[in-house]
Amino acid sequence: MIEKILGKDLALYIKGQRFLIAVAIILTALAAIFTVIPVYLLQPFIDEGMKSASDPVAWKIPWLSVHPPLSFERTERVLVTGISPNRLLMLLTGVAFLSVLFKSITIYFSELSAAAFSNRAIRRLRIELAEKFISLPLTFYHKRKSGELIARATADLTVMQGFISLILIGLVQQPLTAAVFLFYLLLMNYKLTVLTIVITPFIIGLIRLFGRKVKKHSVRVQDAIAEVTSSYQEIILLLKVIKGFCRGTYEAERFGKLADILYKKVMHWNRWQLGIGPMMDVSVFLILPAVLLIGKVYFHHSLGEIIAILYAFARAYSPVKNLARLNNNLKTLQGATKRVFEIMHTMPEIQDTTGAREMPRLKHAIEFSHVYFGYDSAKPVLRDISFAGNAGEMLAFVGSTGAGKSTLLDLIPRFYDVDSGSIRIDGMDIRGATLDSLRGQIAIVSQESLLFHDTIANNINYNGGHYTQEDIERATKIAHAHDFITALPGGYDTIVGDRGTLLSGGQRQRIAIARAIMKNPAILILDEPASALDPESELRIQEAIERLCGRMTIFIISHRLGAIRRADRIFVLENGIIVESGAHEKLITEKGRYRDLYDIQFRP
């Protein structure tokens, strides 16, 4: 049943909360029963309790007598007799108070249980969505705005969290409430009740029409929210660029257009979401005068009976109206669920293959054999790349911007898979190894070293090992970071800020190197580690790298050729092809592309 209502994807997360769902449904059913009690009090309250005489009165309620084999007869059951009108009023008031009290208690615990199972389900989904984001390959993010993905993980999940319990409990509460009042109406006057139900097909048609429109517009609203969220993120991340180019007014106007689009789509959604109520009100309450006339003139009901019937009609209609709104909410929920599970159903292109084995730590060599790769298979970025590096060597890669250097190194930890050819570590194809065992022996320091909003110590010990403070300080000394860290007021407990913005570029880079050292990798990948730093910071980082030579296999990309002079071998890439390779002195004497790059940098 839950699968039919919410869909099988979302139902998987709800079914784990069966006990809480059962508690919420049972309490909701009890609340519906307590809700109908006041209608049984109205007729005796008006017709008997308001009598001015002191003659004894009785409290009678409509009843249904069953006669075998299958015949029914409307009768009355006397609950209290021989009581004065004033005492009857006191009794009815007390019963009304108790019914409201018990209804309030059951509704409170019902809604609390509903909130619990809804939030538990979304908590699990939120965690698994974060795990999915982590597991998806980098290619997944190349074609999508990060702001849109954040919107799906926040705004869409918020919609789901708010509507799951509302819909599941509402689909029990509203029909049951309508049923108990409808039962009372049939007891009071089944002919009059049947006459008023003829409008039902029209109401169902309205619900379907508005439901389709709400679903269509809710998806558009969520898409517009994603665009606005993405724009917010771009403004925050690129604020320095915006200010530097004096484009604040332009960006504000661009954001204003997105906000206007969102406003218009929200208003379109609201027209259909809010329109169902007034349409149903007009349709239903057109028949109320007819109920009054027919009840009084044709069926000769007393004033108390007519008021009780009208109250019951209103209370029976209210759940029908709420069901229409629930239908709209369900369509909105379906739209949000679709957007979230589009991500959840995305299969990672790069994952452990069947029969993947643990890869031993690099001991001998890493080999590229006729590797071809392209982000678009029709446009290769790397072509026929073949070379080998021994354990403990430093291999450097240089070349023009866009030659494919960073892409080549991204293939080693399998951020991308080769289109053809192979990469082998000690003879084992990396595609046959588990990702954890492969990446567990690789550390990366990128051109833009991003740090977490945490302490320096926790950033350095990001590998999660149980290291002592002495271990952390040993790594920072190798990375030439210990002195500046201890000079900070908070030392190793200093919070570095969002992405490490409270530190300088050189400080961030040295902490990133220390973080890599703490991992004790067999392979260290350095992608332009000193590209935008001042000469002193560059020198410190170069010294740190030289200290690591021989301890691990180092792959380094650098446009600053002075930083790679001591590399065991240097590979020159142009247009995705290795055009030269060798030690620094050998490449200088060959007077090829490397010599051209060297002369450009060091020409007097």
Q: Is the pLDDT of residue 101 over 80?
A: yes
Cα angle 214, 225, 143; round to 5: 115
DSSP per-residue codes, 540-552: HHHHHHHHHBTTB
pLDDT of residue 386: 93
pTM above 0.85, yes or no: no
pLDDT digits (tens, 9 = 90+) for 259-298: 888 888 888 877 777 776 676 666 666 666 666 666 666 6
Every domain range in the chain assigned CATH 3.40.50.300: 442-520
Rounded Cα distance between 156 and 421, Å, is 42
For residues 295-317, give the mean pLDDT.
72
pLDDT of residue 387: 92
pLDDT of residue 604: 58
DSSP per-residue codes, 4-65: HHH-HHHHHHHGGGHHHHHHHHHHHHHHHHHHHHHHHHHHHHHHTTT--S-S-EEEEEEEEE
pLDDT of residue 268: 82
For residues 467-495, give the mean pLDDT.
88
Q: Which band of pLDDT confidence, cut at 50, 70 and 90, is reported for residue 243?
A: low
Rounded Cα distance between 522 and 35, Å, is 71
For residues 515-526, give the mean pLDDT.
88
pLDDT of residue 411: 93
**Topology adopted by domain 2-344:** ABC transporter transmembrane region fold (1.20.1560)
For residues 573-596, give the mean pLDDT.
89
Greater confidence (10 vs 465) lies with 10
pLDDT of residue 40: 79
Spelled out in words, what is the top-level CATH class assigned to the domain 442-520?
alpha beta
Greater confidence (216 vs 435) lies with 435
Q: Is the pLDDT of residue 532 over 60?
A: no
- Beta-sheet strands, E only, within 295-449: 365-373, 382-390, 394-399, 420-425, 428-429, 442-445
Every domain range in the chain assigned CATH 1.20.1560.10: 2-344
pLDDT of residue 171: 86
pLDDT of residue 366: 93
For residue 69, say if its preceding peptide bond is cis, omega within 30 degrees of 0.
yes
pLDDT digits (tens, 9 = 90+) for 49-65: 676 666 787 777 777 76
134: left (phi over 0), alpha (psi -120 to 50) or beta: alpha
pLDDT of residue 73: 67
pLDDT of residue 408: 93
For residues 541-547, give the mean pLDDT.
78
Q: Which band of pLDDT confidence, cut at 50, 70 and 90, is reported for residue 401?
A: confident
For residues 346-357, give the mean pLDDT.
86
292 residue type, one letter: L
